[in-house]
Amino acid sequence: MNDIVKIGIIICDRYKSCTGGKRFRSVKERAGAFDIYKDREVELVGYTTCGGCPGGNIEYAPEELKKNGAEVIHLATGMVVGYPPCPYIGTFKNFIESKYNLKVVVGTHPIPEKYFLTHSELKTWNSPEWKVIIQTTLKEKEIRLTYD
């Protein structure tokens, strides 16, 4: 098994000015969706936005990420916690996996507690589909609080 996994991250365009601090911290801590790499080194080979609704950048950005060595694409947690959450997450995941033969993980850093509380109150994630989508980033309350 290769000890280094090369990843690309695609974030929601409405957060294009985000510094990525929580994402990079979670890579370092192997928290949130990055806990799957707890025994591996992670190399970030690219970072971009979806291009804005309905995701125009999704058509070609994964190809460039793959040329840069990406083996896995992470769709950022912001696509899950923003309001409204990205309605295209499933479409993006299926498209990238089918067209580019890349594994796609929904999520980067753990869901912050403030977003968990808001979406719980709004019942945003109550459907079976959303329960699966948030699975990689929904961690214990103590961890969620550290990402507020």
> E-assigned strands of 3-64?
4-11, 41-49
What is the arithmetic mean of pLDDT over 19-28?
93
The Cα–Cα gap between 148 and 110 comes to 9
Residue range 69-123, pLDDT digits in tens: 999 999 999 999 999 999 999 999 999 999 999 999 999 999 999 999 999 999 9
Domain covering 4-146, topology = Rossmann fold (3.40.50)
3-state secondary structure of 4: strand
Cα–Cα distance between 114 and 105 in angstroms, integer?
22
Q: Is the pTM of this model over 0.85?
A: yes
